[in-house]
Structure formats: structure tokens, C-alpha cells
Structure 1
Amino acid sequence: MRAVLLIAVTLLQAMVAFLCTMAGSWLAFPMVISGVVSTIAATWGALDVWVTRQVWNQRHGVVSVPSSTARALRRERRRTRRQERAAERARGRIRRRSGAGQLSHS
């Protein structure tokens, strides 16, 4: 959040510096200087967020790409579920077919 605010303020300062320069205002030079300082601060903020995320991921072992073993396990679970659903459908068809054509169940 801090990095987003720093970047937003930097963009705002750059726009004000540009408009002051176009208008020939005395405020143009101080705005350009503060814009340079803000750019450095915003870059630091963005790098801080990026590095912090990288360190956290390394320490906690979080990998965004699933490993091949996890993928294989998921594939196997899916295959088992699919077979169970197919067997259930087949049982339902057999029950319906065996009851067809009977006038009474006794």
C-alpha cells in the first residue's frame, strides 16, 4: 500500500511540475526537485515490496508453479472421481432398466 501511495504522489508531482514548467511559474524548479526525490522514494518503495515478497517466498517455500508430483496427484484424484461418477451412472441405468415394463413391484 505504501509503495502504491508513493507512486501515485510521484505521478502527481510530475504532472504538476510539467504544468508549472509550461506556465513559466516559479514553482517549476522546486517541483522538479521534489519530483526527483519522489521518484527515488517510489522506486525504493516498489523494490522494497518486491524484495520482501521474494524473501517471504524463499523462507516459507511457497512456489507459485505446482510441482509435477502435485499435478500427478491431482490428475489421479480427478481420474478416480470420474470413474466413480461413471460407475454411479451405470448403476442408475441398470436400476431404471430392471424396473421398466413391470406393472407391480410385488
Structure 2
Amino acid sequence: MPAPRGTGLSRRLWVEEPAIRRRMPDPVRTAAVRAVIIASLTLMQAMVAFFSTLAGSWLAFPMVLSSVASTVVATWGVLDVWVTRQVWNQRNGVVSVPSSTARQLRRERRRARRTARAAERDGARIRRRGAGRLSEA
């Protein structure tokens, strides 16, 4: 429902929404686009082969042969996407983000080191101050 004209309110044509999934890596996206193009060409070729067979055209036999070959190539294209994705994940997919547990353990170790250093400084200060004296008096 559009806003009234005099109110100055307008509906936006485009509402930006956050992406649900992250964008595919470039090599995987390239392989996927290639596979989709090859698959669509294979489907068109199969349709031409089917209709030329129905029409009794001389083009039917070569188109059937090339459709079989294109099916093999399309299968290779889909496998290429899968292999490219697996390789990319193996090389770059592990994002090292420390878990909250690891972060907490690091904080505890840091705190223990600070406490140990502070105790060592205090001990050194006491030894320096009290060096050579047997009593406080």
C-alpha cells in the first residue's frame, strides 16, 4: 500500500537483507558457472536430437552422438565443481577462530604469569631493601 502523497513518506523499492550464506570462493564459482553452461548446452542438444528424431531428419544421428559426448562432458563439469570445492576447502577452508574456551585458558595463563612476575618483583624489592640488615630497628 503506497504512502499518501503529502506525508513525505515513501516506500523503498529495494530492501537490503543480510546474506544467509557466504559467497562461494572465486574458483568454485567459476567452475559452477562453467558446469551450468555446459549442462544447459547439453540439454539444448538433447532437445534438438529428440525433435530431429521425431521429424526424421538426417541431423538426428549426429546430434544423438554429440549429446552422449556432451553428457560425459557435463558430468565432468559437475565433478569439477565438487573437486574444486573440496580442494579449496582443504587449502583455505579452515578459519582459525579461537573458541571461547581457548580464549579463557589464555586469559588465565596470562593472569598467572602476571601474578608470578609481580610476586617475583616484590620478592626482589624485599631482598634489596633488607640486604645487610638483620632486623628492622
For the aligned pair, the TM-score class normalised by the smaller chain equals 0.5 to 0.7
Letter in 2 for 1:39: T
Q: Counterparts in 2 of 1:40-55, with a 5 A limit?
A: 40-55=72-87
Q: TM-score, normalised by structure 2?
A: 0.45
Q: Sequence identity of aligned pairs in percent?
A: 71
**CA radius of gyration, larger in:** 2
Letter in 2 for 1:38: S
Residue equivalent to 1:102: none
- CA distance in 2 between counterparts of 1:45 and 1:30 reads 22
Q: Higher helix share goes to which structure? A: 1
Runs of 4+ deviating beyond 2 Å = none
Q: Counterparts in 2 of 1:1-106, with a 5 A limit?
A: 1-62=33-94, 69=99
Q: TM-score, normalised by structure 1?
A: 0.57
CA RMSD of aligned residues (A): 2.1
- CA distance in 2 between counterparts of 1:28 and 1:9 reads 16
Residue equivalent to 1:73: none
Residue equivalent to 1:103: none
Q: Which digits, 9 at most, give the CA deviation of each residue in 1:75-106, with x for residues without a partner?
A: xxxxxxxxxxxxxxxxxxxxxxxxxxxxxxxx
| Contiguous gaps of at least 5 residues in structure 2 | 1-32, 101-137
- CA distance in 2 between counterparts of 1:62 and 1:4 reads 28
Once the 2 structures are TM-superposed, how far is the Cα of residue 61 of structure 1 from its aligned partner?
3.1
| Contiguous gaps of at least 5 residues in structure 1 | 64-68, 71-106
